[in-house]
Amino acid sequence: MIRHKILDLLAERPGEFVSGEQISQELNLTRAAVWKQMKGLKEAGYEIEAQTKNGYRLLASPLALDSWALARELETENLGRELYFYEDISSTNEKAKELARQRAAHGAVVIARRQSAGHGRMQRLWESPAGGLWMTVVLKPNLSLAEASKLTLVTGVAVVDALRDLTGLKPGIKWPNDILFEGKKLAGILAEVVGEWTTIQTMVIGIGVNANIERKDLSPELPAASLHDLLGRKLDLNRLAASILKYLEQGLKEFEQDGFAPLRELWLERALGIGRECAIEKGGQVYRGIIRGIAPDGELLVEAEGKEHHFSAGEVRLRAVNGEYF
C-alpha cells in the first residue's frame, strides 16, 4: 500500500523532514500524487507538517483506528500480526469465524470502526458505534477444550491490565466476562469455538471496549460507561488494541506453559463482588448466596445455606442483590 510506504519513509526519520522529491523518487510517484497522499493522511488523522523548502515530517499518528499505526504499536510475536481492518462490518466475531475457517492464522485480528450487528452472549445485541474498540482475535491455542473455555477469564485479565496501563483507572471483572467501572460496563468479551473441536482447535475472542464514544451514543437504559466520558479525552485506540493483544499473548503463553492456576490468582485479584451477596438466575429460578471466587475449572463458586455451589458461564446471570450492577 502506497500510503503505508510513505508513512514508513517518514517514520524512518523521526522528527526530520523528508523532501517531496525524495518521496516521489523512492516510490515512483509524481509530486502531485505525493501531495494527494499527504492530504489523505491528514484526513485520516495523521499530523504532518509540510514546509515548501524542507518537505514533510510526521508529528503524530491518529488516535482513531488505523492499520499502519496499530501495526507500529504491536509488541507481540503473533497476535495482530495478521490484521483484517474494516470501516463497517456486521460483527468482527462473525468475520473472524469465517476467516478462521478459511485462512486466518493463529493470532489474526479482525478490527472494525463500527459494527452493525455486534453481539454478546446468547445473541444479545452489543451496541457498537464508531469510536469504540471492536476487535476479535483468532486463537489456535495449545489447550484442551475444557481449558480453552477459560480463555474468557484470561482475556478479562488482559483487558483490565491494558486499561489500567493506559488510563490509570482500575476497572474490575464481573464474572465471567464483563469489565466494569463503578458498577457500569466498560467492556465485554465474547469467546466462541469455531466449528467442531476436533483436530484444529480454533477459538475467536471478541473484545468490545467503550473507548472513544460518548455515553450518550449508547442506549440510555444500559448500565454502561465510556472511557471518553470518564477521562474527558480520547484515547489512542491503536495503543489500546496493541496493549490488550500484548497482555493476552502473555496470558495465553503462561496458560499453555503453567496451566490455569497462576492466571486464576490474577483473575481473583481483579474480580468484583468476592465475599458479597449475589443473586444468580438459572433456568428461571433465582438463587441467593455469597460469591466465594472461582473454582480451578473457572466455574463461579457461591456459598448458600452453608453449601458451596458451582455455576458455569453459559447457564446463569449474576447480579448483586442490592440492585448494583456489578
Interface positions with ligand BT5 (CB under 6 A): 91-93, 115, 118-121, 124-128, 134-136, 177-178, 185, 188-190, 206-208, 210, 218, 222, 224
Distance in angstroms (rounded) separating the CA atoms of residues 251 and 239: 18
Q: Nearest distance from residue 320's CB to ligand BT5, in Å? A: 15
Q: What single letter denotes the amino acid at residue 152?
A: T
Task: Give the three-class secondary structure for 218.
Answer: coil
Of 156 and 251, which CB lies nearer to ligand BT5 in the complex structure? 156
Does residue 288 contact residue 279 with C-beta atoms inside 8 Å?
Answer: yes
Least distance from C-beta 98 to ligand BT5, angstroms?
A: 13
Residue 304: Cβ within 10 Å count:
14
Q: Which of 108, 207 has the CB closer to ligand BT5? A: 207
Looking at the Cβ atoms of 114 and 253, the one nearer to ligand BT5 is: 114
Q: How far is the CB of 1 from ligand BT5 (least distance, A)?
A: 25
Smallest distance, Å, CB 233 to ligand BT5?
19
CB of 130 to ligand BT5, least distance (A): 12
Distance of CA 45 to the CA centre of its chain: 21
Distances (CA, A) of 318 to 119, 151, 225, 281, 302: 19, 19, 19, 7, 11
- Asked if residues 194 and 101 have their Cβ atoms less than 8 Å apart, the reply is yes
User: Residue 118 or residue 251: which is nearer to ligand BT5 going by CB?
Assistant: 118
Residue with smaller CB distance to ligand BT5, 61 or 115? 115
